[in-house]
Amino acid sequence: MRTDTAPTPTLLEDYTPPSHELTSVYLDFDLQPSATSVRSKIDVKRLRDEPLVLNGENIDLRSVKIDGKVLKRTDYKLDQEKLVLAKTPESFVLEIETVCDPSANSTLMGLYVSGGRFCTQCEAEGFRRITYYPDRPDVMSVFTVRLEADIATYPYLLANGNKIEDGAVSDKTGRHYAIWHDPFPKPAYLFALVAGEFDVLEDSFTTMSGRHIPLEIYVDPGNASKAEYAMDALKRSMKWDEQVFGREYDLDLFMIVAVRDFNFGAMENKGLNIFNSSLLLADAASATDMNFERIESVVAHEYFHNWSGNRVTCRDWFQLCLKEGFTVFRDQEFSADQRGGAVQRIKDVRALRGRQFAEDAGPLAHPVRPNAYMKIDNFYTATIYEKGAELIRMLKTILGAERFRAGSDLYFKKMDGTAATVEQFIACFEEASGEDLTQFMRWYEQAGTPKLKVLRETISQGAHRIHFMQSTKPTPGQSEKSPVVIPIRWQIVGDNGALSEPKLTLLTGSGTSVTYPRIDEPYSVSILQDFSAPVTLETDATTDDLLRLMGADPNAFNRWEAGQTLARHLIANMAKAIETGVTPPADTALKGYCEALKKTLDDPDFNNAFKAFVLTPPASSEVMQSLEQVDPIALHEASKWLSRAIGDLLRDDLLDRYHALADTHDFRPDARSAGRRALRNRCLALLASRQDPLAATLSQTQLSESTNMTDELAALMALTRLGGQRVETTMEDFYTKWESDPLVLDKWFSVQAMRRHADGVHAIEQLTESSRYQRNNPNRVRALVGGFAMGNPELFHRIDGSGYRFFTDQVLDMDSRNPQIAARLLGAFEIWKKLDDRRQDMVRGELERVIASNPSKNVLEIAEKTLGA
């Protein structure tokens, strides 16, 4: 929807409770692709003498009744976004009939058609595209839903809760119906329905109280076998949540449906989770290890929402982190148990730094609980999710595991069936632990990433003192920052390992100091072990300190972190040299860094997955965050230089390890097998980075002989790094092999997006115009357009501005159909003030072009905030 007037922001301080209570809701759907009628019958109780405001968008209102009486047009107010009933009885039955066109709904919000099937997505504000309703999360009600459709085309009719009745419609040939009842009050954003033809994978789970729960996963015909891993992950998730959080499933049935066209990864609708098929379907031939890991994580995430999001939801959308941050923490803990703590922590921190730290450092920075928004869709961000999870992790670190569990138990008990706030959540942990967490709330209220500065000092009699200091830079709308609570895990490390026990220091003011005894041997301090707080770290650590920690830190995460820190320094220094044209002197740090990598590579105490991460330098986008201004092409070249240097110095070791890790067994998606493939393919990537002719032979052989997508795609990507005409032939062969599998074709488009095409940006543009491209499908758009902007700095940041122009054109094109996806794509420009002056001018011009185009509210909000308007 376009707007000619400036959107009015919604403010946290303006919150008022609902004026009416909806005690029960009955919905009757007559499902027709282009004209679905929706009849609602709602029992309403007035709480205050105020008008009843019902939200509605892009639907046709046919009638409104109160207690059976049809209202005249003069009895209510109606505009493009609201239906307002000025005067209502204290208690009454409200009936509304609307009609919508699901087949024309390209926004994929509300009720829409995907692959010939009906599907819904109602979070955050999609239910208003179905019928007029108080579409806010603190309006909770018990829903009963009747679905009616053609039985041949839509044999399955699904909705939330338990099915209580179904059958043929007696007076309509070829029509059938199903009635579903959800006994648990829920807000409208958790409503879901699905209708269509599917294959069904069935299983069951017995809860800790002995209840038998049927489990059903609905997929495209022929894909049931690809849902087997998701089913296994679901059962493991259900068991884990009982054991770790004491949460038992509550309904009589649990269902998941996979759809191809979906804006999100998945949605936790009560009893009927709807998944983007890319995060549910997998087998060895078509899915990578990363796909399997993501399926495991997301299935767990959406299931865990049954309590942290459904049974206890959020009072308003400003409290979004209450359900998302808590649930991300829960799925991360589950993944750590399934995949290994150190490896999972590395994955989580890499994601946090790559996405959230950039957000916090740029014009789109906002608190974990924001205080204003124009479109809530734009606040499904890394700050809400990943940083929100880090806050829960800090809470557990501060309180300890036992008191943290007591606080979560109390929260679920006290707030069950309610729409809660962050304050209520924190109050439960205060009550259970006896701790004052008032200052901890600042983490929810302040934007920006705090900087933790650490300095060492030698004092009298040779004793030592360590100083911890914190500061946070101003962010948009917040020029003044107060100290937050920072839990700091640290340890003294010598050449042969630990010289002290791990310690926990709580930094609550701007600074504090800790004294420790004299140490008569070389040592270093391992700071922020396991990344105990989401901060940037500045220390007086020397290269020798970092090399010592790389080789001797007993904390596996910090051993990896020391290498990442040294790698960031190496990349930044080389980028500066490339920009200035001054050849840097030989760097002894590079040799020491590679020797430390070899030491870890040869150490049998570390698993292969960990070694693969150790051999992976930080992304150039992460290094950019530590710099004031940089030429992105120089930074990218510096990143390639470091990978090439590792390949050069460790060539024989990498080659030996590559061959030693070959596996002749059948594919297994378990953590150990995935770790073996990860390290083997990392060795291949490093060999390819040095343009080693042998790497081309190895890649071609692996590509032709691989029996799983992990190895096949890794070989394909290695070949694209090597370049040459063979890449074009190989890419076409891969496409021909997989052209009937849309999920694999998304991977093909992603690889194309990140290639250094000889035709430059024009090659990417041609892909968007080909019949292979599906511009209405979010997965395909994210793969190509998003992959280009985030994964191809050489073309995206071309100095002639062609990359920026093409990208902006694609955002505007997407905005005409799906504003939510367009706005998320536009976030790629958030780093623009880190770029050199010439590129800043070009991006500024593109943002101004977006604003001048009269875009959707979603895109306008992102463009204006990014520009600083």
Calpha distance 811→736 (Å, rounded): 29
CB 38 within 8 A of CB 130: yes
What is the number of alpha carbons within 13 Å of residue 2 lying toward its C-beta?
Answer: 11
Please tell me the distance from the alpha carbon of residue 315 to that of residue 24, in angstroms, as a whole number: 19
Could you tell me the pLDDT band of residue 148, with boundaries at 50, 70 and 90? very high
Please state which architecture CATH assigns to domain 20-196: Sandwich (2.60)
Of the candidates 753, 808, 824, the one whose C-alpha atom is nearest the C-alpha of residue 783 is 753
Q: Which fold has domain 451-538?
A: Immunoglobulin-like (2.60.40)
Token output for 196: 């269509």
What superfamily does domain 312-445 belong to in CATH? Neutral Protease Domain 2 (1.10.390.10)
What is the bridge-based pairing of β-strands 451-458 and 110-114? unpaired
Task: Read off the pLDDT of each residue in 280-291 and give the average, rounded to a whole number.
Answer: 98
Report the b/e string of 23-46 with b at 16+ CB within 10 A: eebbbbbbbbbeebbbbbbbbbeb
| Residue 46 β-bridge partners | 20
φ, ψ at 96 (rounded to 5°): -135, 135
Please state the rounded mean pLDDT for residues 464-481: 97
Quickly list DSSP for 414-437.
HHTTEEE-HHHHHHHHHHHH----
Tokens read off for 538 = 């500045």
Quote the CA–CA distance of 701 and 705 in Å, as a whole number.
6
pLDDT tens profile 67-99: 999 999 999 999 999 999 999 999 999 999 999
The mean of the pLDDT values for the chain is: 97
Rounded to 5 degrees, what angle do the CA atoms 289, 293, 295 make? 115
Which residues are part of the catalytic machinery? 302
Report percent pLDDT > 70 for the chain.
99
Q: Are 774 and 114 in contact (CB under 8 A)?
A: no
In the chain, what is the straight-line distance between the N-terminal and C-terminal CA atoms, in Å? 22
**How much is the pLDDT for 584?**
75
| Model pLDDT, residue 1 | 38
State the CB neighbour count (10 A cutoff) for residue 494: 15
Render pLDDT for 178-196 as a digit per residue (tens, 0 to 9). Answer: 999 999 999 999 999 999 9
DSSP string, 646-667: HHHHTHHHHHHHHHHT---SPP
At residue 110 the predicted structure's pLDDT band, cuts being 50, 70 and 90, is very high
Of 83, 77, 190, 219, nearest to 127 (Cα)?
190
pLDDT tops 50 at residue 3 = no
Mean pLDDT to the nearest integer, 685-695: 95
DSSP annotation of 9: P
Burial degree of 813 (CB within 10 A; 0-12, 13-18, 19+): middle
pLDDT band at 306 (very low <50, low <70, confident <90, very high): very high
What pLDDT was estimated at residue 261?
97
Q: For residue 642, what are its two tokens?
A: 């470091």
- CA atoms of 220 and 825, how far apart (whole Å): 28
The pLDDT tens digits of the residues spanning 530-554 come to 999 999 999 999 999 999 999 999 9
Q: Which of 169-173, 649-653, 690-694 has maximum average pLDDT?
A: 649-653
Same fold, 312-445 and 451-538: no
- Would you state the structure tokens that stand for residue 548, as one six-digit string? 């010592």
The pLDDT of residue 5 is 58
Calculate mean pLDDT across residues 337-359: 97
323 φ/ψ sector (left φ>0, alpha ψ -120 to 50, else beta) = alpha
Half-sphere exposure of 530 (CA within 13 A, CB side): 16
3-state secondary structure of 90: coil
Phi, psi of 685 (to 5 degrees): -65, -40
What radius of gyration, in Å, describes the C-alpha atoms of the chain? 28
What whole-number distance in Å separates Cα of residue 299 and Cα of residue 280? Answer: 8
pLDDT at position 2, please? Answer: 44
Contacts 24+ apart (CB under 8 A), 692-698: 692/647, 692/651, 694/655, 695/722, 696/722, 696/726, 698/658
User: Once rounded to an integer, what is the mean pLDDT over residues 828-857?
Assistant: 97
Question: Measured on CA atoms in the order 383, 384, 387, 391, is the torsion positive or negative?
Answer: positive
Average pLDDT of span 417-431: 98
Domain boundaries in the chain?
20-196, 312-445, 451-538
For residue 722, pLDDT beyond 60: yes
Instruction: Give the whole-angstrom CA distance, residue 104 versus residue 720.
Output: 39
Place of tokens 């150490």: 603
In the predicted model, what is the mean pLDDT of residues 605-620? Answer: 97
Residues contacting residue 245 through CB under 8 Å, at least 6 positions apart: 307, 330, 405, 408, 409, 412
Instruction: Judge contact between 138 and 318, C-beta under 8 A.
Output: no
Task: Please report which helix (H) or strand (E) contains residue 457, including its range.
Answer: strand 451-458
Q: Above 60 in pLDDT, residue 804? A: yes
User: Pairing mode, if any, of strands 141-150 and 20-30?
Assistant: parallel
Tokens, residue 145: 């839903």
How are beta strands 523-527 and 486-494 bridged, if at all? antiparallel
Checking 810-815 for CB contacts under 8 A at 24+ apart, the result is: 810/768, 810/781, 810/785, 811/785, 811/850, 811/859, 812/850, 812/853, 812/855, 813/775, 814/775, 814/781, 814/785, 815/853, 815/855, 815/856, 815/858, 815/859
Given this model, what pLDDT does residue 461 score?
A: 80
In this structure, are residues 647 and 692 in contact, taking their beta carbons and an 8 Å threshold?
yes
pLDDT band at 647 (very low <50, low <70, confident <90, very high): very high
